A and B are shown apart, each in its own frame.
Chain A
Amino acid sequence: MTDVTDNTTIAAPPVERRNSGLRIALYAALGILLVALPLFSGDFYINLASQILIAAIFALSLNLLVGYGGLSSLGHASFLGLSAYFAAWFFTRGGLDHTSAALVALLGTTIVAGFFGLIALRASGLGFLMITLALSQVLWGVAFRWASVTNGDNGLSGMTRPMPFGIDLNGPAAFYWFSLVIFGISFVLMAIFTESAFGSALRGTRDQPRRMAALGFDVWLIRWITFVYAGFWGAVAGLLYVYYHKYIHPTSLSITASAEGLLSVIAGGSGTLGGPVVGSILVVMLKNYASAYVERWNMLLGIVFLVIVIFMPEGLVPGTKRLWKRFTGGAK
């Protein structure tokens, strides 16, 4: 009896795999395009692409909290900024080499994320949002005021790019490929995370936290681990950020920086893997192009926020998917 049901029902739902051949081909083409990008575009676009990759790692990490955990953080820039400050400070002033400075930055930031998580996860919902915002503003204030360490409003400069395996990363193409590798690793690991048993539990705590507790899941611990994990990937983005700019300023810790990340997640589609990447492309391009013509990035950012939330609350990726489904469904 059970054998029969097993054979008929265990096969994975067919809908998911219907287009898998086409899908793999598309992903392969996209991969080749990404790798080959520096071969056919100028420095400006290569640098733009590097910035997008960095922003995308940041948005993906924030998406773990916002999209998969249902925990809307408005202070995620804390981890990007902190990691960048750690790396810059220990390299330029603390006398560490690149490898040690990077390790200190990742480890230190992750520990701070653990501590922030302890505080912020005393609440959920809007309370969590307010506490993360307040915590990040405190860090921002420290970066501004504690000038003897952070150099205040002047920021920390003098950072250089590392030379992994002796490869010089100072050229735009080399740095782009370096970022692409890191992005690839982050993307895959975060994708695995969201699909894993733990990731399923995390989504459960987003949708029905009480039920999850009744089923035996430690909701608090699941959220805290995710917070720390997201903090770690935020730190990875911060490391790339400071390598790219060779400089770090308190604005990287500001509410604007956190908001840009959150906008990328929401605009692209929270709780999807592609969403934050698409959102990052949108935000970074807007920021670069708009600031070339108008000096009003903040106002534009605000307007984009309003437009997205009011007219496309589900985000670009799910919105387009829905339209695509309707289109292909209608064709049949």
Chain B
Amino acid sequence: MTTSATPALEIINLHKNFGGLPATQNVSIKVQPGERRLIIGPNGAGKTTLFNQITGDFLPTSGTIKLFGQDVTKLKPHKRAHLGLSRTYQIITLFNRDTLAHNITLGLLGLQKARWNMLRPLATYGDMRTEAIRVLGLVNLEHLADRPVTDISYGEKRRVEIAMAMAQRPKVLLLDEPLAGLSAGERANIKELVASIPRETTVVMIEHDMDTALDLAETVTLLHYGKVIVDGERDAVIADEKTREVYLGH
């Protein structure tokens, strides 16, 4: 394993104001290819806002975002997806009226030329369906492939969230609280799933559940009031005095 010179994701001096309120202040983060990065911080620390800027849902007020060395700061969200960026949502964002297989298929379709095809029914793309079933198998949901999302449990929806992103074989995967609202058993499930993500994929994860998430992480970034407080190797960040201050207060 050689460390590449260009980081998978590089954020330089990122600023974002909402009205007059700063949500992201002077944030700089470097994530190397294959790295497992955990982003922690109290509620309102600006974690999801940071994700939304990385994906392009929000434009930063100033600063730069680079994917594998390419400046994507002003790029539209769908173009970033084509550069290998995928994400999941903290609030489950699935296509509720459609089947699980259809949900995953949309994830596959998004990166293919076929998405512009107005003549061929989506149902006739057998290879896409095969692949969708395979991906559902990764999260142990292939038996529910033809059930609508409304029929499945919350924990299963969390798994579909991740499967939809994984179907895209992303180079950089942003997971926004993949464990939120899950039972202990389900959490172990997701943990196993995240741990099994191949090293070709760089993973950046927001999570509150330290017990589970810290095991998955190699590096940790602590955000507080939109600023990076501590950033580095997992154990060093945990041991840092400032981390305790943020979480325990004075």
Partner-B contacts on A (CB < 8 A): 2, 5-6, 9-10, 12-13, 192-193, 195-201, 203-204, 207-208, 210-219, 229
Contacts and interface: CB of A to CB of B under 8 A. Distances in A.
A193 B119 CA distance: 6
B197 to A, nearest CB: 18
9 contacts: A5-B134, A200-B102, A208-B95, A210-B77, A213-B81, A214-B81, A215-B106, A216-B115, A219-B78
A10 B146 CA distance: 10
Given A9-B145, A10-B133, A200 B109 contact: yes
B143 to A, nearest CB: 8
B77 A213 contact: yes
Contacts of A9: 133, 142, 145-146
A321 to B, nearest CB: 14
A197 B109 contact: yes
B84 to A, nearest CB: 10
A208 B94 CA distance: 7
B115 A217 contact: yes
Contacts of B133: 5-6, 9-10
B25 interface: no
Instruction: State the majority secondary structure of interface residues on A.
Output: helix
A197 B55 contact: no
Contacts of B95: 203-204, 207-208, 211
Interface stretch (B1-9, B38-46, B85-93, B222-230): B85-93
B110 A197 contact: no
B110 A216 contact: yes
B78 A213 contact: yes
Contacts of A6: 130, 133
A5 B94 CA distance: 24
Interface string B19-57: 000000000000000000000000000000000000111
A211 B103 CA distance: 11
Contact of B123 (A12, A211, A219): A12
Contacts of A214: 55, 57, 77-78, 81, 86-87
Contact of A201 (B96, B115, B120): B115
A13 to B, nearest CB: 5
Contacts of B164: 215
A127 B96 CA distance: 25
A156 to B, nearest CB: 34
B118 A198 contact: yes
Q: For the complex of A and B, list the 5 residue pairs with the smallest distance between their C-beta atoms, beginning with the closest.
A: A216-B110, A215-B110, A216-B81, A213-B77, A195-B121
Contact of A215 (B81, B102, B117, B142): B81
B76 A213 contact: yes
B107 interface: yes
